[in-house]
A and B are shown apart, each in its own frame.
Chain A
Amino acid sequence: EKTRKGFVTDLLDKFGDDPLTPETLDELETLLLRSDVGVDATDQIINALRKRLNEEVLDSKEGLRFLKEQLCKIVDQPIKNSGKTLLMPSENSLNIWLIVGVNGVGKTTTLGKLANLALRSGFSALIAAADTFRAAAVEQVKVWGERSGVSVVANETPNADPAAIVFDAIGAAKSKKIELLLVDTAGRLQTKNNLMEELTKVRKIIDRLAPEANVESLLVLDATQGQNGLSQAMSFAKSANLTGVVITKLDGSARGGVAFAVSSQTNLPIRFIGAGEGIRDLRPFNSFEFVEALLADS
């Protein structure tokens, strides 16, 4: 089996102007599967390319371009539908961003990076430490608060009610006229009904206490995860009323291909990507860059 290393370069070197063959299609399929795009999404994408090939002869270069266009379209569509190409807090008003996801995906780290980004962009920010469950979760988010120079609203009592902390934090944000309130939540697997209900409760508190706020509910998705990512997106969309997705750990060799299934099946725009453990390792999502990286050599 060909490793992914150099496949696209090889393809272009060897077959650049030659017509795309069924064998090359198989190898492109392999590339997508190995990037966690998933069997169904890969079938759809490769079938579109196959259909196109039936209509006209494409060389490898054109075939690849068509493939990239297809992939870009999938992740761009939800962004287009949202009406916002770039996610930013609105100035001079309260914005609340709720960060949710399964265990260990990078929620707290992403929140730390977002706090820093907000400050660098001239917004005032506040952090609500609403993960009261994980060992040392509050200490961890406090380190991020210090690093980014953003205050943290917390309750040190283990298993304190997360909704109560969010309640306090919204009060503090309003009285201090904070523009961006970032809410860290405990990791939870989407199959845990009681924990998902707890999240719904937090989401409801936000809507009730700050009906005027611009609320974003962001699902953090780990690029190393496989097909379970789709099930995560579906469940969290229901419980936390998701408005977008952040993909983390793209500095590794995983490509985060499950994002294509998530985009096409949940209509959630991908807003940021995380590519490292440092405070500045966060970028706005760019479909072109994402697709290039998906097919790039490693």
Chain B
Amino acid sequence: MFDELSARFEDAVKGLRGENKISEDNVDIALKQVRRALLEADVSLSVVKQFVQEVRDKAIGAEVVRGVNPGQKFIEVVHQELVEVMGGANSPLADSTKKPSVILMAGLQGAGKTTAAAKLGLYLKDKGLKPLMVAADVYRPAAIDQLNTLGKQINVEVFSLGKESKPEDIAASGLKKAQEEDFDTLIVDTAGRLQIDEEMMNEMVRIRSAVDPDEVLLVVDSMIGQEAADLTRAFHEKVGITGAVLTKLDGDSRGGAALSIRKVSGQPIKFIGTGEKVEALQPFHPERMAGRILGMGDVLTLVEKA
């Protein structure tokens, strides 16, 4: 699959070969390939359109220096723009002045929230902090057991009130406990919900009010398709996200959602999930993600070939 995509870009730059500059006349064929590649990588269509327009504007104006052909320049512009849109450098977790700081997990069903909560728990613990995880999913069968099991694995305490209490009350009680017992960070796991489920989205808002989080992390499955844009928009408008975790990147999905999430919300992807195990959490690197979305491990080789 990756080869096919590299080939697509080779086609794209072939159109520019022999030309001495990127112009209105020759850029469109190349852009068509970019559009196609992004759609195949599951970047949301509205985001693809904006992105292609921006690349077009930048590419046409781009100065082609001696020794670099327009094809090489074009790929460079696409790649740079991707990296830039995705936030340039990695963004760490928010520095909080209050103690405990609060992280709220949110997202669709099965995205990887509970797993990511435990991964963050371990990550913070390894930094010498004392996190508390809160089981505020009262719907999914055995959701509390799942968080408890993971808590034991990483040696991080889990607070729960069973599944008869309201999630916002569980979250509030968890916060109280954390304040009283000197925890550094509160990680609130919540039930999966569809962004079109008004009742569940309202519940999310109530949970948010109950704990006043420093971070609201939208957890998104990297295999997600066109939904990424609508999903992000809805969660951001309603709950206000501060960042995202992109999961299941240990597979072969191209992860175009990374671009959609950032473009729609303006918020950075902070971490990526690269496995089922609690250790499989990594900081997000826009540069690497750009290569992945374009289907080329190493952009430079492609630039050299162009």
Interface residues of A (CB under 8 A from B): 1, 30, 33-36, 38-39, 102-106, 112, 133-137, 139-140, 142-144, 147, 187, 189-192, 222, 224-229, 231, 249, 251-254, 257-258, 277
Contacts and interface: CB of A to CB of B under 8 A. Distances in A.
B42 interface: yes
A145 to B, nearest CB: 10
Interface of B, secondary structure class, is loop
A102 B111 CA distance: 11
B119 to A, nearest CB: 12
B81 interface: no
B109 A249 contact: yes
Contact of B252 (A134, A228, A253): A228
22 contacts: A1-B49, A34-B44, A106-B110, A133-B276, A134-B276, A136-B148, A136-B149, A140-B140, A143-B141, A147-B141, A189-B252, A222-B110, A225-B225, A226-B223, A226-B256, A227-B40, A227-B225, A228-B253, A252-B196, A253-B227, A253-B230, A258-B225
A133 B194 CA distance: 26
Contact of A135 (B108, B140, B146, B196): B146
A135 B226 contact: no
Interface string B214-243: 000000010111110010000000000000
Contacts, number: 134
A196 to B, nearest CB: 12
A249 B197 CA distance: 12
A77 B288 CA distance: 41
B65 interface: no
B48 to A, nearest CB: 9
Interface of A, secondary structure class, is loop
B40 A102 contact: no
A252 B49 contact: no
B145 interface: yes
A33 B48 CA distance: 11
Nearest to B114: A135
B251 interface: yes
B40 A39 contact: yes
Contacts of A190: 251-252
Contacts of A1: 45-46, 49
A144 B141 CA distance: 8
Chain B interface category by residue count: 35 or more
A135 B150 contact: yes
Contacts of A30: 45
B139 A102 contact: no
Contacts of B111: 104
Contact of B248 (A102, A143, A277): A102
B112 interface: yes
B24 interface: no
A86 to B, nearest CB: 27
Contact of B195 (A139, A192, A222, A253): A253
Nearest to B231: A224
A205 to B, nearest CB: 23
B169 to A, nearest CB: 22
Contacts of A231: 1, 252
B194 A252 contact: yes
A38 B276 CA distance: 28
Top 7 closest A-B pairs, CB basis?
A226-B225, A104-B110, A226-B42, A143-B141, A136-B145, A189-B251, A136-B146
A137 to B, nearest CB: 8
Interface string B136-170: 00011111011111100100000000000000000
